[in-house]
A and B are shown apart, each in its own frame.
Chain A
Amino acid sequence: MSGHSTYVPSSAIARWFESRLPIIGLMHGSFVSYPTPRNLNYMWTFGAILSFMMVAQIITGIVLAMHYTPHVSMAFASVEHIMRDVNWGWFLRYAHANGASMFFVAVYMHMMRGLYYGSYKAPREILWILGVIIFLLMMATAFMGYVLPWGQMSFWGASVITNLFSAIPLVGSAITTWLWGGYSVDNPTLNRFFSLHYLLPFMLVGVVVLHVWALHVVGQNNPAGVEVKNVKRDTVPFTPYATVKDSFALAVFLIFFSWFIFYVPNYLGHADNYIEANPLVTPSHIVPEWYFLPFYAILRAIPSKLGGVMAMFGSIAILAFLPWLDTSKVKSAAYRPVYRVFFWAFVLTCVGLGYLGAMPAEGGYVIASRILTFYYFAFFIMILPLLGIFETPKPVPATIADAVLAKHGAHAMQPAE
């Protein structure tokens, strides 16, 4: 991770170590002296919050795995055993289950930030695509984790999602049989989901390292959307500025998280998941976890099996092409008055699809889902490419320092050191 380190080993031992493995210098250059744009707002704290959530999920997950049994006849009981018998088990499970939701809250804020401020534009395309891969890995991990308690929603959610692959022409049913290890979701499926649910987070860590590496090569975007031109004028060192700001934001986020753990631990879950899985009875209304609802609404909006599945996967895949779909040279929506309107309409569309995903697939709900699905895709393939041509952006400040000065006046220009 680049960023010129000012680290000077202060002892003979540190010098000896640094000349053999310069890891302290690397950490210092990445998280202490690393220059961050001086105009970052609180939307830039979600990266740190996400890093925290990833570690929290891995730690709570590893200890839960010490008490969980991945077998169809014992999984449900072992989760109740965690809740009732294991010391602090209720806390660990609620922290892990709600932690997944918090992880998604933070990632959606992080993605919205990127979308609003054009963080995906050159030179940050690879950074953005790595983010899309992280999002996909998160979704796969969360989905498999939700199957493990082996409740009714676990089982039927797993059935519906694995059946998506049966929409693939010719090889579809062979692929689903292979995924299941049988002719339906059963013990082999639960076993492999447990194995993969343990594996994927570590792959996630690997991609996050690449994501942070790519970030530190190109530097952070910022609310003005202009690149750092003068490190002294435009940036402040990561420590203490970003460290303190991230820590404060994390503390606020943890209050929010704690409220869920301690006051409404089951609010985001579904009551049917406290009924043990029964392959012969489908719950009357299957809904995925809230963070999948917009995509589920897109799946159900299309009146064809293959078409629905393609639209759903397409709605995620299209994010990877965003750097080339948006033709505007201006990054930040602060200087794009028309884009700003379409952006907020897009956010409302996603929220609306989330609502519709939780509703039954009938009548007006389906029509509304179709309209919003149309806008979802039109935003990427029609609005963004055309807006770059027709929109007249507001004047963009020449430097980050100018943007800060314009907002706060000269007193904001105290030396950073």
Chain B
Amino acid sequence: MLFIATGAAAAVGAGAVAWPLISQMNPDASTLALASTEVDIGAIPEGGILTVKWRGKPVFVRHRSKKEIDEAAATPLAQLPDPQADAARVKKPEWLVVVGVCTHLGCVPLGAPGSRGDYDGWFCPCHGSHYDTSGRIRKGPAPANLAVPAYDFLTDTKLRIG
């Protein structure tokens, strides 16, 4: 009994000391403090993509054209590896906001006209993932759609991400 009690106390003590050593590697207060950023989106032309840095990562703010919106909305969910309706991924159809990090292994997908991949969205050159105009994975090794960060429209031309 005494041995078990001593052993248990030692195990709890070792765990209590180990935790700070493990936890120190998690994001610190200064990293967490940078959790939101404000963007002016008034200058983005239709069809244009603005890349902003949020939490050290690129975020794509895309001013979608009517054609791009229709393409995204018309895609049957059955064709998607990670089924999600376009309406569930945007707050205003003309604005798509996604984290610009490929869900495969973290590269930044290309979005310049001409290198947008087979589905007019983004193409990741690292391992060949194609995303559509809703940032959804269509082809390639990535398992999931581009993530949609938390964001709010402060005004019609001002966006807060995070």
Contact = CB atoms under 8 A, between A and B. Distances in A.
Interface residues of A, number: 35
Interface string A62-73: 000000000000
Contacts of B106: 159-160, 162-163, 166, 184
Interface stretch (B1-9, B40-48, B88-96, B124-132): B124-132
Given A160-B126, A279-B53, A182 B27 contact: yes
B26 to A, nearest CB: 5
Contacts of A47: none
B15 interface: no
Contact of A300 (B26, B100, B127, B143): B127
B28 A181 contact: yes
Interface string B84-125: 000000000000000011001111100000000000000011
Nearest to A300: B127
B141 A308 contact: yes
Nearest to A192: B25
A243 interface: no
Interface residues of B, number: 27
Interface in A150-198: 156, 159-160, 162-164, 166, 177-186, 188, 192
Contacts of B141: 300, 303-305, 308
Decide if the interface of chain B is mainly helix, strand, loop or mixed: loop
Nearest to A156: B107
B127 A183 contact: no
B128 A280 contact: no
Given A160-B126, A188-B31, A183 B107 contact: no
Interface stretch (A96-104, A224-232, A282-290, A406-414): A282-290
B57 A282 contact: no
B107 A279 contact: no
A178 B56 contact: no
A228 to B, nearest CB: 45
Interface in A242-292: 279-282, 284-286
23 contacts: A156-B126, A159-B107, A160-B105, A160-B126, A163-B104, A164-B105, A166-B106, A178-B26, A180-B27, A181-B27, A182-B56, A183-B31, A184-B57, A184-B101, A186-B31, A186-B56, A188-B28, A280-B108, A300-B141, A304-B141, A305-B104, A305-B143, A362-B128
Given A279-B57, A281-B108, 19 more contacts: A160-B105, A160-B106, A164-B105, A183-B31, A183-B56, A184-B55, A184-B106, A188-B25, A188-B28, A279-B53, A280-B53, A282-B125, A286-B107, A300-B141, A303-B141, A304-B143, A305-B105, A305-B143, A361-B126
